[in-house]
Each structure stands twice: as C-alpha cells, then as structure tokens.
Amino acid sequence: DGGITQSPKYLFRKEGQNVTLSCEQNLNHDAMYWYRQDPGQGLRLIYYSQIVNDFQKGDIAEGYSVSREKKESFPLTVTSAQKNPTAFYLCASSTTGVSEKLFFGSGTQLSVL
C-alpha cells in the first residue's frame, strides 16, 4: 500500500544531542513537509521541500535541519540548538499545486531525557 512511513514512533533525546527523524513516502509525491504539533496547538510548519535537493524554511525552522537527497525521503534533524524539542512531529507529502491535499504519516513523539 502507498503511504508515508515515519520512524521511530517514540524517540528520546539527551541534552546536547542531535536526533534524526525518518520520513519515507512511496506515493511518488514531489512535495514533502515537516510539521510540529504541541498539545492544544495547531500544526506549525518547520520545513518543506517541493523538489529533490531543494527545501525552504517554514515558520519555526530554528534548531532544525533537513535534507532532500531522494524524492522518497525527507529526514528531519532536531539539533541541540532546539531548546524545547519535546513535541509530536508529523511528516506529510503531496503533489505540487496550490490546492493539493496533504497525506500524513503517523508521527514521531520526541521527548527530552
């Protein structure tokens, strides 16, 4: 079945450590996105990519980094510069276009030890 796979489902980070969240899609979508979800808040865009080897910052990119070396993959690194990383992270993909709907993965819950 086509879809988006995020791993791991739960991740723990120690102080000063970088961690990488995986996102893979087999929907042949050009665009991919990372959103952060905090309790009681909506989703906020971290980074997005509309084509391989290109990506743009979203609203809350500080303390995060991404790469897009393959169409299928869009990993997110939470760096030690992100002082409040505890959140639920959602990866999404879509075809390019103004009104295209997003397809989401099942998320990764990141917590700080």
Partner 1 sequence: AQKVTQAQTEISVVEKEDVTLDCVYETRDTTYYLFWYKQPPSGELVFLIRRNSFDEQNEISGRYSWNFQKSTSSFNFTITASQVVDSAVYFCALREYGGATNKLIFGTGTLLAVQP
Q: Which residues would be at the binding site for partner 1 (CB under 8 A)?
A: 31, 33, 40-45, 48, 50, 56, 58-59, 88, 90, 92, 96, 98-99, 101-107
The smaller minimum CB distance to partner 1, of residues 10 and 113, is found at: 10
Phi-psi region of 28 (alpha: psi -120 to 50; beta: other; left: phi over 0): left
Nearest-approach distance from CB 80 to partner 1, in angstroms: 26
Residues 46, 50, 55, 58, CA torsion sign: negative
Closest CA to 46 of 21, 64, 22: 64
Nearest-approach distance from CB 16 to partner 1, in angstroms: 28
The smaller minimum CB distance to partner 1, of residues 17 and 28, is found at: 28
Nearest-approach distance from CB 108 to partner 1, in angstroms: 9
Rounded Cα distance, 8 and 56, in Å: 24
The smaller minimum CB distance to partner 1, of residues 17 and 57, is found at: 57
Nearest-approach distance from CB 23 to partner 1, in angstroms: 12
The smaller minimum CB distance to partner 1, of residues 14 and 101, is found at: 101
Integer CA distances (angstroms), 26 to 44, 63, 72, 112, 113, in order: 24, 28, 6, 31, 33
